[in-house]
Chains A and B, each alone.
Chain A
Amino acid sequence: MTYENVKKEPFVRIAKRPEVSKRNAMLIRFSSVLVALLLGGLILLVLGYNPLAVYGDIVKGSLLSSTALKSTVKIAVPLLGASLAIAPAFKMKFWNCGAEGQITVGAIVSTFFALKLVGDLPRPVFFIVTFVVSAIFGGLWGLIPAFFKARWGTNETLFTLMLNYIAIGFVKYLRIGPWMDKGQMFPKVPMFDKAARLPDVLGVHLGWIIVLALVIFIYIYMTRTKHGYEIAVVGESVSTARYSGMNVPKIIMRTMFLSGAIAGIVGWMLVCGTNYTLSDSTANGYGFTAIVVAWLSKLNPFVMVIISAFLAILQKGSNTIQTNFGIPASASEVLTGLILLCMLGSEFFINYRFVFRKKTVGGDD
């Protein structure tokens, strides 16, 4: 027997799983979180901390005091909003990596109103106007890459990503230039007047009500409307959509306008409800983390609520452990990164499995 002709079976290969029951899928997801916690615990042990105490403090520092809980909700709300924003685009397989920029644009226009016009309008009118305007401008910012994609087939991932840096660069210009806080002579935008700050409902700015309403809106929009159906068809196959007479460019642009508009509303919420000022980091990575949320929730708006809350707990909790244990910021980022990696990785194991080479009896390889 010549070795040249026999192709050796690899030691391990990856095979698609035929069909996974819901129960098994949940089991895999659950165990992935466990694995993540174990791995994270190992890192903490190596660093010389007690993992149980650290995990306990993540929960305590994010949920178990009213200040902590409020600030966790304040992280979850824009994250959920951003996830809802990108959901329709992702359903259409239009990879909107530009929520960060669309949020920023919404924040910029809201800030413009808050700095220049706040005294001139009655408070409810001020909030309605800024709400609408930030949605429009966020939507227009989202429309730019959609137009180019629809017209010339440009790559939307790069396009939306690059637009982020333009929006954030513009904030930098405003912060150092025309909107600099003249009172302080420090390159930062002044704090908003009290009248330009969103009122609290149950301790957190009322953005949370709007975001919860958006959950229902997006769910209905995606599953119960003609628009939602068109989005799904374009996402599955542009050719099918075209053959069935759908106006694909129009659908792409309309959906991205909606996506950007919701992101713009998130920006409005962030400056008027949370930060009370505009900075380079107003969007704070929500637009990117939203992509993780969207994937983990498989674009289901209700699941997004849970995932956003979970990530918010992780983020707030990791701030707390930095304080309580003096764990360096980078180490607690590694911890959260690990948990996310395992959770995303579990999707792989739901769809695929490893097949190991079987022992051949009497084989001499």
Chain B
Amino acid sequence: MKKLLALILALVMVLSFAACGETPEEPENPETPSEGEELTAENIKIGFIHVSDPSDMGYTYNHDLGTWKMAENLGISEDQIINKYNIGEDEGCATAIEELVEAGCDIIFATSFGHGDYMTEAAANHPEIEFCHATGAQAAGSGLSNYHNYFTSIYEARYLAGVAAGLKLNEMIENGTITADEAVIGYVAAFYFEEVISGFSAFYLGARSVCPSATMITLKADSWSDPVKEGQIAQSLIDQGAVIISQHSDNPSPATTAEAAGLFHCGYNSDMAEAAPKASIISARADWSIYLTYAVECVLNGEEIATDWCKGFSEGANFVSPLNTAVAAPGTQEKLDEIAAGLVDGSVHVFAGPWTGVHVWTGEAFECAEGEWVDESKDQSAPYFGYILEGITRLDA
């Protein structure tokens, strides 16, 4: 009996691996772009890959708002848009993209960084379809003309939110609620890499520009979207002395955690004052409709989409939510208006010195002198500012 078993197993192995000997290249997809029929706003099909769903009231919610605004701008009907929600940064993403291809999409957007590898492969396999990946950085290096990256210079809006946080810290110091040394910002980070680091550095520099004694502590969630963990991290930061919470994660749970603790918060993606009216001061937001409209229009007009697209505050691609005056320190709106004007006319630079920092990967120390600044998102849409500034402590790094 044992021999029989061994025989069967051996046979199967041999048969299986015989298949490896055949041509390793998979056959090209036989699909060809539908010729003859011209793409119009009435027949174009648009696919989206989202890492969560709009019920997150955060990143996906905000990106979805952009989708519908784009549809309105271009007169595209609801049934021409296929949304794939809750697509993880794993093999499920490849399947979801294939299903969008199968459904006849002419342009496919993916919104999360970890979708990048699958977008790269799909773009190579389907040259007739345009692939646009938010926050990623693989398009330029891939050499594919149908593969594009996009992001907004959200660090500008974060800088503004940071200013509002700094003014709140000042108010707390003046009231005697905290001492100057206790002006600690807690930051819920999804991961530690450039996109997130650029964000919290901008926020910190904004806060420090008005409150020089401000410091920041961070903890990472190791996930873009994990409502429970984000809330727990916010609580942990509060327990370790943070009096204002901000976040680079998708859910408003840090806002509600700050509210429950009687503290304050600055949000991201959606106007989180809706979730935490007594805590959330202001939120940095992106308006994705600007890019989505641009990219879809390019496809309709048969024009090339930019390989790297990054627009900023002055183009309206990012903005801050209306100031929650019930919570913000008096005079905040005036200060924000002043700095916003500076961002638009180019007199305010977010990553302006003086600061010192250590690069997160290379460990190289860098000093940015007064009057100098570091550019961000200039050559590539995905953020690449990777210095951990003095004054910011990653508690779990």
Contact = CB atoms under 8 A, between A and B. Distances in A.
Contacts of B55: 328
Contact of B99 (A67, A172, A216, A224): A67
Given A127-B17, A186-B114, A323-B85, A220 B24 contact: no
| Interface residue tally on A, bucketed by range | 35 or more
Contacts of B20: 123-124, 127, 199
Contacts of B26: 200
Contacts of A210: 12-13, 16
Given A187-B191, A319-B92, A199 B22 contact: yes
A123 B14 CA distance: 13
Given A210-B16, A225-B1, A225-B2, A187 B99 contact: no
A59 interface: no
B9 A281 contact: no
B374 interface: no
A194 interface: yes
A279 B93 CA distance: 14
A195 B21 CA distance: 11
A101 B82 CA distance: 36
Interface in B7-65: 8-9, 12-13, 15-17, 19-22, 24, 26, 52-55
A227 to B, nearest CB: 9
Contacts of A70: 95
Given A188-B114, A191-B117, A329 B86 contact: yes
A232 to B, nearest CB: 16
A67 B95 contact: yes
Given A127-B17, A185-B193, A199-B19, A323 B83 contact: yes
B349 interface: no
B375 interface: no
A112 B160 CA distance: 45
B12 A213 contact: yes
Q: Name the interface size band of chain B.
A: 35 or more
A285 B121 CA distance: 26
A68 B99 contact: yes
Chain A's interface: helix, strand, loop or mixed, by majority? helix
A170 to B, nearest CB: 15
Given A65-B102, A186-B193, A123 B24 contact: yes
B102 A67 contact: yes
Contacts of B86: 319, 322, 329
A128 interface: yes
A77 B17 CA distance: 18
B17 A124 contact: yes
A326 B15 CA distance: 43
4 tightest A-B CB contacts, nearest first:
A213-B12, A71-B95, A124-B17, A67-B98
25 contacts: A65-B102, A67-B102, A68-B99, A74-B95, A123-B21, A127-B20, A128-B17, A184-B116, A186-B191, A187-B191, A187-B192, A187-B222, A188-B89, A188-B114, A191-B117, A194-B24, A195-B24, A206-B16, A210-B12, A216-B8, A277-B117, A279-B89, A322-B53, A322-B86, A329-B52
Interface of B: 1-2, 4-5, 8-9, 12-13, 15-17, 19-22, 24, 26, 52-55, 82-86, 88-92, 95-96, 98-99, 102, 113-114, 116-117, 121, 137-138, 191-194, 222, 361, 386
Interface of A: 65-68, 70-71, 74, 123-124, 127-128, 131, 172, 184-188, 191, 194-195, 199-201, 206, 209-210, 213, 216-217, 220-221, 224-225, 274-277, 279, 281, 319, 322-323, 326, 328-329
